[in-house]
């Protein structure tokens, strides 16, 4: 038996669970809203070309309109100014082996339930590591907040001073990127940064620090409550868009339940 034969047999037998971490692309799913002086991200739209009718008697299909950053999506280094000169920084250039790899989940759901502006800090990370071991190099790190269970306006959670949602502090991102050398960071919220992330130094520290170091982002993830803290494998291949700064994608995790 080879590793791949065992792997395929494990999926077929259900010993390896495949968990879908993706929201459905739907015109009603929120996209990030920037202050009005900036360009805006498009919502998902689907236009019928034909549906077994005079426009195409035996087939049904649609044209799509969306942003690189609509729905559950991948952020490439070239998305941020800090990563504009990173080699292989666009989605079409990233080596494909980066799209499959180990993943750990830091459960912040309790704190995020009490505080919309909950911060992932170095203290939270080191407390997690005291229980689960050090975050391995080249792993994806996902911040679980259960934010994906919110619907409608509660998802962006806009107030007079902008959106309020949980995210990492600059010191937490420096720890993950500079000391743990992670592959990427993912969240259940509309961005890898907190809703109020503009007030940190640097502003939007997850974007700035991750992409400046050639690391990747995932956002609008779902079902993180179905993953173990360690031991799962993430599959997150973005579309191969020439010079693309990101891409909607299907994100899956493979989980081997301990018997
Ligand atoms: Mn994005």
pLDDT, tens only, 219-229: 999 999 999 99
Say how many residues make up the chain.
259
Q: Is the pLDDT of residue 58 over 90?
A: yes
CB atoms within 10 A of CB 126: 12
pLDDT tens digit string along 139-189? 999 999 999 999 999 999 999 999 999 999 999 999 999 999 999 999 999
> What predicted TM-score, i.e. pTM, was given to this entire model?
0.97
Which tokens hold the place of 195? 């809703």
Spans of all domains in the chain:
16-256
Mark whether 79 is an active-site residue.
yes
- Using CA atoms, how far apart are residues 164 and 198, in angstroms rounded to an integer? 11
What pLDDT is attached to residue 259? 58
- Using CA atoms, how far apart are residues 221 and 144, in angstroms rounded to an integer? 9
- Fold category of 16-256 in CATH: Glucose Oxidase; domain 1 (3.50.30)
Distance (Å) from CA 75 to ligand 1 centroid: 5
**Active-site pick, 73, 79, 207, 211:** 79
Distance (Å) from CA 257 to ligand 1 centroid: 31
- Identify the residue whose tokens are 């790190």: 141
Beta bridge partners of 243: none
Pick the closest to residue 29 from 73, 70, 75, 74 (CA basis).
Answer: 70
Distance (Å) from CA 205 to ligand 1 centroid: 14
Which tokens hold the place of 54? 């005079």
């Amino acid at each position: 038996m080879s590793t791949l034969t065992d792997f395929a047999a494990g999926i077929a037998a259900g010993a390896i669970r495949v968990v879908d971490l993706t929201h459905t692309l739907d015109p009603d799913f929120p996209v990030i809203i920037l202050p009005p002086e900036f360009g805006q991200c498009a919502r998902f739209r689907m236009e019928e070309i034909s549906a077994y009718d005079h426009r195409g008697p035996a087939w049904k299909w649609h044209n799509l309109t969306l942003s690189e950053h609509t729905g559950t999506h991948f952020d490439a280094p070239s998305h941020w100014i800090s990563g504009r000169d990173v080699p292989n920084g666009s989605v079409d250039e990233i080596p494909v082996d980066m799209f499959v790899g180990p993943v750990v989940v830091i459960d912040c759901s309790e704190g995020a339930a009490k505080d919309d502006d909950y911060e992932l800090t170095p203290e939270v990370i080191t407390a997690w590591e005291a229980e689960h071991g050090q975050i391995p190099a080249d792993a994806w790190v996902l911040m679980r907040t259960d934010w994906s269970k919110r619907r409608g306006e509660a998802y962006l959670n806009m107030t007079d001073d902008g959106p309020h949602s949980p995210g990492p502090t600059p010191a937490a991102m420096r720890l993950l990127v500079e000391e743990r050398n992670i592959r990427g960071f993912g969240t259940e919220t509309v961005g890898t940064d907190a809703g109020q992330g503009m007030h940190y130094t640097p502003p939007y520290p997850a974007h700035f620090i991750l992409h400046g170091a050639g690391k990747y982002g995932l956002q609008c993830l779902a079902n993180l409550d179905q993953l173990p803290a360690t031991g799962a494998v993430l599959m997150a291949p973005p579309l191969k868009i020439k010079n693309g700064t990101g891409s909607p994608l299907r994100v899956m995790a493979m989980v081997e339940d301990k018997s």
